Amino acid sequence: MTIILASKSPRRKELLENAQAEIIICPSDAEEDIEEKDPAELVMKLSSLKAESVFEQNPDIFKSLESDKAFILGADTVVYAGGKILGKPADKDEARDMIKLLSGSVHSVFTGFTILFEDGKKITDHAETKVFVYPMSDEEIEDYISTDEPYDKAGAYGIQGLFGKFVEKIEGDYNNVVGLPVSKILHTVKEYNI
């Protein structure tokens, strides 16, 4: 199976490689400026835009592959906390505000994914995982946002990194919080006999 990943995310690439898929990185340049208040709808729309953008930019991408089991995968992840959709923080102040919002509470991580086949068939879905975070002191928050970890991640944290020690528990798919619900994606593909 060959997956054309419409993302530069090293975490998504690693998760898919762990599932023994051949990965071709082909980042999308789709405009991600969508007005949508519902986090599930937002990530599904963005994932669809990314997959379609790669397909439109590279109309012959499937012809160059040796595998007849191939698809484009678009994905987008957001953190939803306190009624707000949190993307990647722009700076330290924004990272601080995000971590303060997550501290001592429960939030959801939504990842939308779109699977686009050579024949134009498209499947879009999402996964949600609830994350329970222990209360963090101001010092712990400052120490954390002084690292490099928060700045390229939705919600300003990486569960697989330094922030993991503040996570009490999760409900749902751990890989979804890292950035991709791999098992759900592969199960979806299997249902469509790829």
> What phi and psi, each to the nearest 5 degrees, are found at residue 177?
-70, -35
In this model, does residue 60 exceed pLDDT 80?
Answer: yes
Confidence band (pLDDT; 50, 70, 90) for 31?
Answer: confident
Assess whether 76 carries a catalytic annotation.
yes
pLDDT, tens digit, 9 for 90 and up, residues 74-115: 999 999 999 999 989 999 999 999 999 999 999 999 999 999
Question: What domains are defined for the chain?
Answer: 2-191 (3.90.950.10)
Q: Which of 33, 38, 60, 76 is catalytic?
A: 76
CA distances from 134 to 147, 158, 163, 187 (A): 19, 15, 11, 33
Q: Is the pLDDT of residue 33 over 90?
A: no
- DSSP 8-state assignment for residue 90: S
The SS3 assignment for 104 reads: coil
Q: What is the DSSP string of 132-155?
A: EE----HHHHHHHHTSSGGGGSGG
Strand partners, 22: 2
Q: Are 110 and 126 in contact (CB under 8 A)?
A: yes
Predicted confidence band of residue 193 (pLDDT cuts 50, 70, 90) = low
